[in-house]
Structure 1
């Protein structure tokens, strides 16, 4: 996952796991032991 795509500010190196929850939160685990959380922005 590269910086600049879909609003990413930084690269996500070697994504290894992905999950979502009932609140539309997206969780990604990548090497080296990095954990990311993505949430929807509120509509203005």
Structure 2
């Protein structure tokens, strides 16, 4: 059992890493879509 402990720990760390990557990818793609600002136009500044 002692020799398998390192593999179990590495497996858990890898699983956590994969879960974080998947959630960040989902948030990133949602942020890039910006559907709610699709027809937004920046107001021009009036210069005196």
TM range (shorter): under 0.3
Answer 1 or 2: which has greater helix percent. 2
Normalised TM-score (structure 1): 0.21
Question: Highest CA radius of gyration, 1 or 2?
Answer: 2
- TM-score of the aligned structures, taking structure 2 as reference length: 0.20
Q: Does 1 or 2 have the higher relative contact order (CA < 8 Å, sep 6+)?
A: 1
